[in-house]
Amino acid sequence: MSWTKVISINLAVFLGLLVVLELGWNIYDKTLRSKVECDLEWVLYNYCPKIKTTKLNHADDGGKLIEIETDDLGGRVQIGSNSTFQKAKKFLIGDSFIQADEMEYQDTIYGLWNDEIDNAAYGLGYSSWNPIQYLDAIKRIGKADSHYYVFLMTNDVTPSYGRSVSAELSTLMPNFIRKSLSYTFLSRVKKMVFNRQKNKELGAEGDNFKITTDAFSVENYHDCTPLTKIRDSNYSRKLGFDYLVFSKKYDCWPVVHKKAFDEFLSVTKDIERYVINDLNSKISFVWVGAGWAHRNQNSKGRLANDYGFSADISVTQKGLVDEFEKRFNKTDIIDTEKVIATGISACLQDCKDKFFFTFDGHWTPESHKLVLSQLERYELNK
């Protein structure tokens, strides 16, 4: 038998096995796999429609078991109640900060708003969404004569984060490929190999490097020098470096970060145009500040190897927000970092981790109250 025939037979057998495995995976994914999260035709992924599930918080975050119920779109609803989708005029779109699965529905911004005014607000968000998914979600909602609050954060821009706008645009592919067993397997192998190589190259310096000074605080955002020093270290390969970059004014940013910002801006402007022109609605951008923008918030999560931010310092996102405001100078922009900083400064006791969860770093109910108050003040002044 010729080598050509041997190769052809082996290739046919391999492809046949691959088809069988993919069919088996597809059946498992559609019938047996836990369906808390779904791949949908209108967005990359979200909560499944009309489910009831639970989320157990990390022990450092209180260990509370949270009940979650969703509506037809996968948006959260008050347990046992109807969705506010049909009557709401305020739509809050974001990622895990809006998903807010660490707390009961009634403690979220939209839950609190609906407690004050029946059916006032509707929240739709999911972990690791970015403006690409925000636009998909807004199109799916499609409500005219409404007010859309779009919650943005630094992760949407960071070139090192796999779910940022920049990273996602560089790997665009059809959803059916993303869902396949082959893609899932190869992605995990690639990530494992990359992380092993990265850890090897980082070595002891990368593992132990910590940010321990206030060189990246609001007061120092004009000073590029601390960033220049770290650019030549192994720490610059970590996700935390992106946050240090965006703490500084635009002139300090490396070229790759400016490019990522431009790609983020392009999608964000698409959102603005769609809301204003197609939905005849208002839009406000709300910047979500991270816990490490404040001392002694998210005190354990910020120590993770990807960041290494000491609990007694602050790493602002002022440089990023300031540049965004220049590009959207006619758009309403709310910076929650400032809002929460005001709340922290007024706190007199038990202030550590009061505004951001200790481990996972999302807003606590206390911060949801502060942000809602700011949104309400904003609406009164318009």
Q: Residue 66 belongs to a domain with what CATH number?
A: 3.40.50.1110
Q: Which helix (H) or strand (E) holds 199?
A: helix 181-208
Residue 300 lies in a domain: yes
HEC secondary structure over 244-257: HHCCCCHHHCCHHH
Q: Is the pLDDT of residue 266 over 70?
A: yes
Residue 160 lies in a domain: yes
Percent of the chain with pLDDT over 70: 81
Q: How far apart are CA 96 and CA 125, in angstroms?
A: 6
Q: Is the pLDDT of residue 26 over 90?
A: no
Percent of the chain with pLDDT over 90: 73
Please list, in sequence order, all residues whose beta carbon lies within 8 angstroms of the beta carbon of residue 3, skipping any fewer than 6 positions away. none
Helix (H, G, I), strand (E, B) or coil at 41: coil
Residue type, 276: I
Mean pLDDT of the chain: 87
Q: How far apart are CA 166 and CA 120, in angstroms?
A: 34
Q: Is the pLDDT of residue 272 over 90?
A: yes
pLDDT per residue as tens digits for the range 156-174 = 999 999 999 999 998 765 5
Residue 28 lies in a domain: no
How sure is the predictor about 19, in pLDDT bands with cuts at 50, 70 and 90?
low
Q: Is the pLDDT of residue 347 over 80?
A: yes
Q: Is the pLDDT of residue 69 over 90?
A: yes
Q: Does residue 121 contact residue 84 with C-beta atoms inside 8 Å?
A: yes
Q: How far apart are CA 244 and CA 293, in angstroms?
A: 11
Domains contained in the chain, number: 1
Residue 9 lies in a domain: no
Residue 16 lies in a domain: no
pLDDT of residue 204: 44
User: In sequence order, what DSSP letters do the residues of 211-267 get, joined into one string?
Assistant: B-SSTTSGGGTT--HHHHHHHTSGGGGSHHHHHHHTTS-GGGS-HHHHHHHHHHHHH
Q: Is the pLDDT of residue 212 over 90?
A: yes
Of the candidates 294, 286, 298, which has an alpha carbon nearest to the alpha carbon of residue 356?
298
pLDDT of residue 15: 63
Residue 109 lies in a domain: yes
How sure is the predictor about 8, in pLDDT bands with cuts at 50, 70 and 90?
low
Please list, in sequence order, all residues whose beta carbon lies within 8 angstroms of the beta carbon of residue 93, skipping any fewer than 6 positions away. 123, 124, 125, 134, 137, 138, 148, 149, 150, 151
Q: How far apart are CA 343 and CA 79, in angstroms?
A: 30
Please give the residue range of the domain that contains residue 260: 49-381
- Burial class of 229 by CB neighbour count within 10 A (0 to 12, 13 to 18, 19+): exposed
Of the candidates 42, 75, 91, 85, which has an alpha carbon nearest to the alpha carbon of residue 281?
91
Residue 243 lies in a domain: yes
Q: Does residue 241 contact residue 154 with C-beta atoms inside 8 Å?
A: no
Q: Which helix (H) or strand (E) holds 271?
A: helix 255-273
Residue 265 lies in a domain: yes
Q: Is the pLDDT of residue 6 over 60?
A: no
Give the mean pLDDT of 101-115.
98
